[in-house]
Chains A and B, each alone.
Chain A
Amino acid sequence: MATIITKEQQEKEKMVTLVSSDSEKFVVEQKVAEKSHVIKMVMNCCGIESPIPVRRVKGDILKSILEYCEKHSKGEAQEVMEKWDKEYMDKAEKDLVFFHDLMLASHFLHIQELVDLIAVTFAGMLKMKSPEEIRQKFNINNDLTKEQEEHIMTTFGWAFQPI
Chain B
Amino acid sequence: MRGSKASCISMDRLSKKKHSLCSDGFDRCLSKLPDNLLLRILSLLQMKDRVRTGCLSTRWKNLWKPISNIDFTQTNMHKTPELIAAIDKTLSYHDVLQSLSFKEILGISGSPSVSVTDLTFETEFWKCNLSGLVYVLRDFSKLEVLTINVMRNHDNKSGDFYKEEKSGINAYWKPDDSSVLGLQQHLKTVKINGFLGSLDTSAEFETTTESILNARDTEFVFVKFLLRNLTELETMIITITEELDNFPALKKLDILSQLSSRLLAFSKSSRKAQILINPDQLTDA
Contact (Cβ within 8 A) A67 B61: no
B3 and A29: CB pair below 8 A? yes
Say yes or no: B53 contacts A126, CB within 8 Å: yes
B29 at interface, CB cutoff 8 A:
yes
A95-B15, A107-B37, A160-B52 are known contacts. Are A140 and B7 too (CB-CB below 8 A)? no
Q: With A97-B26, A134-B56 in contact, do A28 and B3 touch (Cβ < 8 Å)?
A: yes
Q: Contact at B57–A70, with CB atoms within 8 Å?
A: no
> How near does chain B come to A87, taking the closest CB pair, in angstroms?
8
**Does B6 contact A131, Cβ atoms closer than 8 Å?**
no
Q: Closest A residue to B3 by CB, please name it.
A: A29
Known: A139-B26, A142-B56, A161-B76. A66 touches B11 (CB 8 A): no
- The stretch from B39-47, B119-127, B182-190, B213-221 touching chain A is B39-47
Size band of the interface chain B makes with A: 35 or more
Which B79-137 residues sit within 8 Å CB-CB of chain A? 82-83, 85-86, 89-90
B6 cross-chain contacts in A, Cβ below 8 A:
15, 26-28
Determine whether the beta carbon of B41 is less than 8 Å from that of A119: yes
Among candidates A27, A98, A140, residue contacting B19 with C-beta atoms closer than 8 Å? A98
Q: Is the CB of B3 within 8 A of A32?
A: yes
Residue in contact with B27 in the complex, picked from A15, A98, A138, A149, CB distance below 8 Å: A138
Say whether A55 faces chain B, with CB atoms less than 8 Å apart. Answer: no
- Judge whether A123 is part of the interface by a CB distance below 8 angstroms: yes
Asked if B52 and A64 sit within 8 Å, CB to CB, the answer is: no
CB of B21 within 8 A of chain A? Answer: yes
- Give B19-75 interface residues, CB cut-off 8 Å to A: 19, 21-22, 25-27, 29-30, 32-34, 37, 40-42, 44-49, 51-58, 60-61, 75
A86 within 8 A of B: no
B111 to chain A, nearest CB (A): 23
- Indicate if the CB atoms of B49 and A126 lie closer than 8 Å: yes
Partner of B56, one of A63, A67, A140: A140
Q: Known: A100-B26, A131-B55, A161-B76. Is A60-B19 also a contact (CB below 8 A)?
A: yes
**For residue B76, which residue of chain A has the nearest CB?**
A161
Are A144's CB and B61's CB within 8 A? yes
Contact A70 B15 (CB under 8 A): no
Residues in chain A near residue B44, CB distance under 8 A: 119-120, 123
- Decide yes or no whether B4 CB sits under 8 A from chain A: yes
In the bound complex, CA of A149 to CA of B54 (Å) = 9
Taking a contact as CB atoms under 8 Å apart, the answer to whether A107 and B34 are in contact is yes
Given A28-B6, A123-B41, decide whether A158 and B86 contact each other with a Cβ distance below 8 A: yes
Which chain B residues have a beta carbon within 8 Å of chain A's beta carbons? 2-4, 6-7, 9, 11-12, 14-15, 17, 19, 21-22, 25-27, 29-30, 32-34, 37, 40-42, 44-49, 51-58, 60-61, 75-77, 82-83, 85-86, 89-90
Q: 5 closest pairs, A vs B, by CB?
A: A67-B9, A159-B51, A29-B3, A123-B44, A27-B6
Known: A103-B33, A140-B57. 8 other contacts (CB 8 A): A67-B11, A70-B4, A91-B12, A101-B21, A115-B37, A126-B49, A134-B53, A159-B86
